């Protein structure tokens, strides 16, 4: 099939470095490996599909990613006002209108069988999606790892009846999209592992100094209402050798544990530098399925996650992962496994073998291709 992916590039600096490292004859990567969209494209191509990308946050004027999101990094007042206007009344933005015309022109040249629209869309209009469906019979497939109740915007909700298929990590999110009008949903984790990228790493002495810790966490912790369970989980083990890496803000009680930012290959080394990785999901994920769940396992790192239905569906507790039920239980689990290195190592080894066998991006994208091919 011919598939067109419309998504944003969130880490342009990582993409620039990664492109510079690629052989001259290789296909230019569309997205950086710090985003799962990179692995979607790679997996779809490796399973026989023709894939092109449309970068929806590429402005006609200015540099992509010159500044990070206003949500997490301070912007000047005028920039904040413009960002709010764009998010609330995107049709008044002439640059957005031009990007929609560019997407239609791209589809007219490429004739995709399906448009894969990643979550967080604040640019592509519902009428643009309707035009793609009417003019070329293009299926619209929406891919998201977050709750529409918490994160979706007016454009995404208005377009929901146009989605032929919504694919989500968390089963409950899929139900919410059906309630908004989507025709069909599938709970297929969009996160997985890439055996060529997610591997155990032998750290240099310098890297061990920078990334080594007893307990590690990589991820988002703000705003508090969305990540309070994570913050509480980390708070109860902050005195046990906790290191925290995040590209966003840090709650005051965890400032002393903050070790820096971690994206792409740096993130892999951070994972490999810890004896235990803690993986609490955000409060908007009650089923489970975040990226770190599969990435840490593929890196051969022992992991303790919150006890969610998806975690138990995709892993075997006590064999390929450990779980906790509340913060006090997490602290007890951490203390126990810090004292039992052999058990940690056995579970981490089994987890890596498990995800390489059952949870690779090639497998995910093969399943996604089959779902799209079955759409009527």
Q: What is the pLDDT of residues 206-252, one digit of tens each?
A: 999 999 999 999 999 999 899 999 999 999 999 999 999 999 999 99
Block residue for tokens 């052989």: 23
Nearest to 291 by CA among 197, 160, 172, 166: 197
Q: Domain 205-358 maps to which CATH number in 3.40.50.10420, 3.30.460.80, 3.40.50.2000, 3.20.20.70?
A: 3.40.50.2000
How many angstroms separate the CA atoms of 332 and 375, rounded? 48
Mean pLDDT over all residues of the chain?
Answer: 92
| Closest CA relative to residue 280, chosen from 335, 218, 339, 340 | 218
Strand partners, 166: 142, 185
Q: How far is CA 274 from CA 124, 157, 204, 213, 303, in A?
A: 41, 40, 14, 5, 10
The SS3 of residue 163 is coil
Quick one: average pLDDT of 47-67? 78
SS3 328: helix
Q: Would you state the pLDDT for residue 255?
A: 97
At 296-337, the pLDDT tens digits run 999 999 999 999 999 999 999 999 999 999 999 999 999 999
Nearest to 262 by CA among 184, 325, 201: 201
- pLDDT confidence bin for 26, thresholds 50/70/90: confident
Report CA-CA distances (Å) from 261 to 247, 250, 265, 267: 5, 11, 12, 8
pLDDT confidence of residue 72 = 40
Closest CA to 136 of 159, 111, 116, 161: 111
User: In this structure, which topology does domain 2-192+361-373 adopt according to CATH?
Assistant: Rossmann fold (3.40.50)
Query: For position 13, what pLDDT does the model report?
Result: 87
Global pTM? 0.89
Query: Nearest Cα to 201, choosing from 292, 279, 295, 290?
Result: 295
Can you tell me the mean pLDDT for 55-70?
61
Domain limits, the chain: 2-192+361-373, 205-358
The pLDDT assigned to 61 comes to: 64
The pLDDT value given to residue 70? 39
Average pLDDT of 92-102?
92
Q: Which contacts of 155-159 are long-range, i.e. CB under 8 A and separated by 24 or more positions? A: 155/90, 155/121, 155/122, 155/123, 155/124, 155/125, 155/126, 156/119, 156/121, 158/126, 159/121, 159/124, 159/125, 159/126, 159/129
Whether 2-192+361-373 and 205-358 share one fold: the answer is yes
pLDDT of residue 141: 98
Q: pLDDT over 70 for what percent of the chain?
A: 91
Share above pLDDT 90 across residues of the chain, in percent, rounded to a whole number: 83
Mean pLDDT (whole number) for 172-199: 97
pLDDT of residue 69: 40
Residue 27: what pLDDT? 73
**Mean pLDDT, to the nearest integer, of 120-140?**
96
pLDDT band, residue 59 (cuts 50/70/90)? confident
**pLDDT-derived band at 340, boundaries 50, 70, 90:** very high
The pLDDT of residue 17 is: 86
């Amino acid at each position: 099939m011919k598939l067109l992916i419309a998504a944003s590039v969130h880490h342009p600096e990582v993409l620039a470095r990664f492109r510079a490292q690629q052989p001259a004859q290789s296909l230019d990567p569309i997205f950086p490996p710090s985003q799962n969209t990179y692995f979607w494209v790679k997996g779809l191509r490796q399973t026989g599909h023709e894939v092109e990308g449309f970068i929806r946050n590429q402005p006609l004027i200015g540099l992509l990613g010159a500044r990070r999101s206003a949500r997490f990094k301070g912007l000047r007042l005028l920039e904040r006002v413009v960002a709010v206007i764009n998010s609330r009344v995107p049709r008044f933005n002439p640059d957005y209108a031009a990007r929609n015309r560019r997407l239609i022109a791209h589809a007219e040249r490429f004739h995709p069988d399906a448009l894969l629209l990643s979550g967080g869309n604040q640019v592509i209009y519902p009428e643009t999606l309707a035009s793609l469906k009417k003019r070329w019979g293009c299926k619209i497939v929406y891919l998201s790892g977050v709750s529409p109740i918490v994160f979706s915007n007016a454009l995404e909700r208005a377009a929901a009846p146009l989605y032929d298929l919504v694919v989500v990590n968390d089963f409950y999110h899929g139900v919410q999209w059906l309630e908004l009008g989507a025709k069909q949903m599938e709970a297929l984790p969009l996160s997985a592992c890439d055996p060529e990228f997610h591997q155990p790493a032998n750290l240099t002495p310098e890297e061990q100094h920078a990334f080594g810790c007893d307990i590690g966490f990589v991820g988002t912790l703000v705003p508090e209402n969305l990540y309070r369970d994570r913050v509480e989980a980390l708070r109860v083990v902050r005195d046990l050798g906790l290191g925290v890496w995040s590209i966003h803000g840090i709650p005051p009680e965890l400032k002393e544990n903050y070790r820096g930012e971690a994206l792409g290959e740096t993130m892999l080394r951070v994972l490999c530098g810890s004896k235990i990785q803690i993986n609490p999901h955000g409060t908007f994920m009650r089923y489970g399925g975040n990226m770190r769940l599969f990435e840490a396992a593929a890196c051969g790192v022992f992991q303790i996650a919150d006890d969610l239905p998806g975690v138990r569906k995709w892993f075997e507790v006590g064999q390929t992962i450990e779980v906790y039920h509340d913060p006090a239980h997490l602290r007890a689990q951490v203390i126990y496994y810090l004292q039992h290195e052999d058990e940690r190592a056995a579970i981490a080894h089994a987890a890596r073998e498990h995800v390489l066998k059952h949870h690779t991006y090639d497998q995910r994208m093969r399943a996604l291709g089959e779902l799209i091919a079955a759409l009527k």
